[in-house]
A = this chain, B = another copy of it.
């Protein structure tokens, strides 16, 4: 699916995430966008739902927070499994993809006849600077 044009609210949320140093919670985004007319959490969550669907944003389950996708290319095709390192010190999040892990997980789930819909891989720890 080609990414459709973003609506006003989706654009505001996307911009907030893109310009952020690190991940943001939905409520942090809400606060950033109050000046732009945001009043309620639902405005943020609705925009995030779409951005997640389009693959422009990722949700970090272990943080209850969101980051802009850092993939350089377009988002018209699925990139398969996305993994993250998350630094507890500085909050830096690094997104990466690895075919070997993807294949291995695929083999393991196939072995239990499990049909994968979404894979979460999040590695908490400390980055080089914060170690």
Give Cα distance in the complex from A108 to B84, angstroms.
Answer: 11
User: Chain B interface: which of A10-18, A19-27, A38-46, A92-100?
Assistant: A92-100
Interface residues on A, range: 20 to 34
Q: Is the CB of A85 within 8 A of B112?
A: yes
| Nearest CB of chain B from residue A57's CB, rounded to whole Å | 16
| A126 partner residues in chain B, CB cutoff 8 A | 114-115, 117
Asked whether any CB of chain B lies closer than 8 Å to the CB of A113, the reply is yes
Please tell me if A128 contacts chain B, counting CB pairs below 8 Å: yes
Let me know if A101 is at the binding interface, CB within 8 A.
yes
Cβ contacts under 8 Å, A116 to chain B: 85, 123-125
Q: A62-B61, A101-B104, A114-B85 are in contact. Are A109 and B131 (CB under 8 A)?
A: no
- Further contacts, 4 of them, CB under 8 A, given A83-B105, A104-B104: A61-B62, A112-B128, A117-B126, A119-B121
A-B contact pairs, 5 of them (CB 8 A): A94-B114, A115-B131, A119-B121, A119-B124, A120-B121
Q: Give chain A's interface residues, CB within 8 Å of chain B.
A: 61-62, 83, 85, 87-88, 94, 96, 98, 100-101, 104-105, 108-109, 112-128, 131
